[in-house]
């Protein structure tokens, strides 16, 4: 692990902080690998994970100076997606614990993809989202085409991707791209409060909810019903359900271990 990702632990909650503030946390292939490894390692014991950046930016996207040769002729720009960014996005999808992003400042390019792939997105009022790829003759990546069309619909997603204009956080909230909108100085504490609440909940159930929701985004209704049936069996066999049911019957708060 390098210092490109800072790990901050608070009980069962872990914050993973992108740590290249001078470059507005622009991602390098190494940072993508470091973040993936940190997610894999910390999710083994954490019960909720917050992804954060710095005051000026969650992440300004890919660091093109670090990733691209001076002469891009014949260079396979998609190779770093295959090797570095796509494995990161699959890891985020498959994590067994909830992910919360705390977005201040810019969330652009693949940085926006990372923020929007989380389960709950908390953004400050002066934050913004930007799909700037068309400005340099590329297409959105990091799963952006999938994430955006499902979050805001095809038409709004096309506007974001084709016009490559900043979407201010209040507008993103109105569109359903952001789940919580806060004052700038309250973003991280709001994200941590949500993470603490999730960390006190049923870990096994949360893992299965994430799995069912991601699968439902690609499945038809009948397949989703069958997925729910299969995962509900697994949930019902867990100690979390036994405790939750006992707490319900005894009219007390559940104590999930």
The pLDDT profile of the chain, 257 residues, written as one tens digit per residue, is 469 999 999 999 999 999 999 999 999 999 999 999 999 999 999 999 999 999 999 999 999 877 667 777 777 888 889 999 999 999 999 999 999 999 999 999 999 999 999 999 999 999 999 999 999 899 999 999 999 999 999 999 999 999 999 999 999 999 999 999 999 999 999 999 999 999 999 999 999 999 999 999 999 999 999 999 999 999 999 999 999 999 999 999 999 98
Measured from the Cβ of residue 222, the count of other Cβ atoms closer than 10 Å reads 8
The third-level CATH classification (topology) of the domain covering 203-250 is Lyase 2-enoyl-coa Hydratase; Chain  A, domain 2 (1.10.12)
Sequence spans of domains, the chain? 5-199, 203-250
The third-level CATH classification (topology) of the domain covering 5-199 is 2-enoyl-CoA Hydratase; Chain A, domain 1 (3.90.226)
Of the CA atoms within 13 Å of residue 142, those in its CB half-sphere come to 26
Contacting residues for 198 by C-beta, under 8 A, at least 6 apart: 47, 48, 97, 98, 100, 206
Pairwise CA distance, residues 184 & 103, whole Å: 9
Q: What is the pTM of this model?
A: 0.93
CB-based burial label for 224 (10 Å; 0-12, 13-18, 19+):
middle
Check for a shared fold between 5-199 and 203-250.
no
């Amino acid at each position: 692990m390098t210092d490109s990702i800072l790990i901050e632990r608070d009980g069962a909650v872990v914050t993973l902080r992108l740590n290249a503030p001078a470059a507005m946390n622009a991602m390098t292939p190494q940072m993508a690998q470091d973040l993936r490894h940190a997610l894999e390692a910390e999710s083994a014991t954490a019960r909720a994970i917050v992804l954060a950046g710095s005051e000026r930016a969650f992440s300004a996207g890919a660091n093109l100076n670090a990733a691209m040769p001076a002469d891009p002729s014949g260079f396979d720009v998609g190779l770093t997606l295959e090797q570095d960014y796509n494995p990161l996005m699959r890891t985020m999808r498959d994590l067994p614990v909830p992910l919360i992003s705390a977005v201040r400042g810019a969330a652009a390019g693949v940085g926006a993809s990372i923020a929007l792939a989380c389960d709950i997105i908390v953004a400050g009022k002066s934050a913004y989202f930007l799909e700037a790829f068309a400005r340099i003759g590329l297409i959105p990546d990091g799963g952006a085409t999938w994430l955006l069309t499902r979050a805001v619909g095809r038409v709004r997603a096309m506007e974001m991707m084709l016009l490559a204009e900043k979407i201010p956080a209040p507008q993103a909230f109105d569109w359903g791209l952001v789940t919580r909108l806060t004052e700038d100085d309250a973003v991280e504490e709001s994200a941590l409060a949500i993470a603490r609440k999730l960390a006190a909940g049923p870990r096994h159930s949360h893992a299965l909810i994430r799995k069912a929701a991601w699968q439902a985004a690609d499945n038809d209704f009948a397949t989703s019903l069958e997925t729910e049936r299969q995962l509900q069996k697994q949930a019902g066999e867990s100690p979390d359900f036994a405790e939750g049911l006992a707490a319900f019957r005894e009219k007390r708060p559940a104590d999930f271990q």
